[in-house]
Every structure is written in structure tokens, then in C-alpha cells.
Amino acid sequence: MIIGLDMMGGDFAPLEAVKGIQLYLSETDSPAILFLTGDEAQLNPLLQEYNIPADRVKVVHAPQVIDMHEHPTKALKEKQQSSIAIGFHLLATGKTEAFISAGNTGAMLVGAMYSIKAIEGVQRPTISTIIPKENGKTGLLLDVGLNADCKPEHLNQFAILGSLYAQHILGISNPRVALLNIGEEEGKGNILAQNTYPLLKENSQINFTGNIEGRDVLEDKADVMVCEGFTGNVILKMAESIYDITHRKEIRHEYFDRFNFELYGGTPVLGVAKPVIIGHGISHARAFCNMIKVAQKMIEADLMNKMKASFEA
């Protein structure tokens, strides 16, 4: 198994990426081979310093970097020698089986959509976040910002993608899928939610359990929570800010520790044909390590083929 990793993406790259690799190799029984895209003059000394075994990694030199604030499409086009562009090239040509970056999110999304493409039948790929539940479990919320305006069928597809991810990657059997809404009964909500409910109810590929409300997001009412990317993104960022606030105010509790995104790695782009994982710009070693683990799990679980099969049905 070969996983591609952009070493130049994120505020603390490449150092934290290297430390993440070290962590990954130390914690994993059968680790993947890692193809590392980035500036070899920076990477080689670091890999040596952190004793990364040369047989586990291969540096693929990328002389350019797409900065965090560059325009995604323009940057990808103009910087074909960037660590992200080369990373996608390796993935698209089958040299790697997954690609991970904590770099420019927009460029990662554009790359995922255009060099990897959506799974046949998927109208809109989506991104999700892990939500720490009050009782210690985790849920999946999607979409969290890739699709600000959605049609009911998009949400119905997110439900399928999220359900497969929850089942095969989060290890939740027969995951409960719910529609995020502003009322419990069928018929409640905005026009989108009203029209999405019947599709979810009729969808035999998921275990639809009905509507949930904002108060249920952090409770264990559902494993997969579906909404359009506007509301989802607001929830995601609000959850992140709660983690930050509790840290700043020194409110220490195991529950709030679980709001630390690093524990979950990054955000897989679901619905594209190969595993692509986008990390937070402020990723440290733990996040890099966990992103590699998630990519490995996605490959081992053959998730892409399971998703393809769902949309062929």
C-alpha cells in the first residue's frame, strides 16, 4: 500500500508532518509506504533527524508550494510542480492509493474534483466532520462546507456516503442516519428539509431514523447527521471554537478534549473516486499521523469500491 502525503501543507509543515510520520510508523503494525511530495532539500535532513527509515518513505521532489491564501484553481494550474499538484498526479496515475494534505483547502478540493473526479452517479462530493458525542461515541456530520446550496437529492447522497464511511471507517454497524432539522416530526423544517425527508425515508440503502435538532447534535441520537454545507460549516466552526474557548479559559474536561480535531486527523472528501484527505491548516504531528491512519483504513476497507457499488445500484 502506498499513500501520498503533501509535506509542505499546513502552518507547521514540514516539521510536524515528519513528526507525524514518525508517530504513524511507531504506532502501526503494517504501515503503508509513504510517498512524500515537497522540497527535498528541506525534507531529507528532517527525515534523517527524525530517524524515518528510508525503506518506508520516498521523497518525490516538488519545487513549488501553493500557499494557504492562493486562489485554488489558478494556483493548481500555474504551479504544476507544487507538492499538491504532484501529489494529485501521483494519485491520478495510480502511483499512490490515497493523498493527504494540510495545505490550501480549496486547492485540495479542486484537485480532488478535477484530477480524481467524482464516483459515477455522485452529483456532489462532500466533506464531513467527526462530532464527539456526550456519551463518548462519535458521530459524522456532513456536508460541512463544500456544498453551501443543496438539493434534496444531494443530501440523500450524502446520507449514503456518510453511512458507508460510518460503517466501514468508524466501525458503526447499521449506522443511524438522521436529517438535521428544526423540528422532530416529518413535515417540519425549511423547504430543503421538508423535501429531503421523504427521499431519506424511501432510501433502502440507509437506516434512516428521522429528524434531529440542534440539541441532538452532541447527543447520541444519530450516527450520521445530514445537512447542507452552510449549516454544517457553522456547526463545525462553532464546535472548533468551543474547543478553543475552553482551552483559553482553562476549562479542562475529558469531554472538551474530544473536540480536538487532531484526534480525528482530517476531513476525507467523500464521493470522489480515490481517498483524498484534507487536514486543518494548524495540524500538528498527531493530526498528520491520524490522517495517514484514516487513509490506510479507507484503502484496507476498500471503501471506494463499496461507494461505487452503492451508486451503481
Contact positions toward a copy of itself, by CB under 8 A?
134, 145, 148-149, 180, 182, 189-191, 193, 213-219, 227-231, 233-238, 240-242, 244-245, 248-249, 251, 253, 255-256
Q: Min. distance of Cβ 283 from a copy of itself in angstroms? A: 17
Nearer to a copy of itself, 120 or 149 (CB): 149
What whole-number distance in Å separates Cα of residue 63 and Cα of residue 65?
7
Q: What are the residues whose beta carbons fall under 8 Å from the beta carbon of 129, sequence distance 6 or more?
A: 140, 141, 142, 144, 232, 236, 239, 261, 264, 267
Burial class (CB in 10 A: 0-12, 13-18, 19+), 246: middle
- Dihedrals φ, ψ of 221, to 5°? -90, -25
Nearer to a copy of itself, 193 or 291 (CB): 193
Q: Min. distance of Cβ 160 from a copy of itself in angstroms? A: 22
Nearer to a copy of itself, 33 or 255 (CB): 255
Q: Min. distance of Cβ 100 from a copy of itself in angstroms? A: 23
Q: What are the residues whose beta carbons fall under 8 Å from the beta carbon of 77, sequence distance 6 or more?
A: none
Nearer to a copy of itself, 75 or 289 (CB): 75
What whole-number distance in Å separates Cα of residue 231 and Cα of residue 97?
32
Q: Min. distance of Cβ 181 from a copy of itself in angstroms? A: 8
Nearer to a copy of itself, 73 or 241 (CB): 241
Cβ contact 168:155 at 8 Å: no
Q: Min. distance of Cβ 159 from a copy of itself in angstroms? A: 18
Which grid cell is 308? 461505487
Q: Cβ of 215: how many Cβ atoms within 10 Å?
A: 8
Q: Min. distance of Cβ 254 from a copy of itself in angstroms? A: 9
What whole-number distance in Å separates Cα of residue 111 and Cα of residue 66?
12
Q: Min. distance of Cβ 61 from a copy of itself in angstroms? A: 34
Nearer to a copy of itself, 78 or 220 (CB): 220
Residues linked to residue 138 through DSSP beta bridges, in sequence order? 132
Nearer to a copy of itself, 36 or 131 (CB): 131
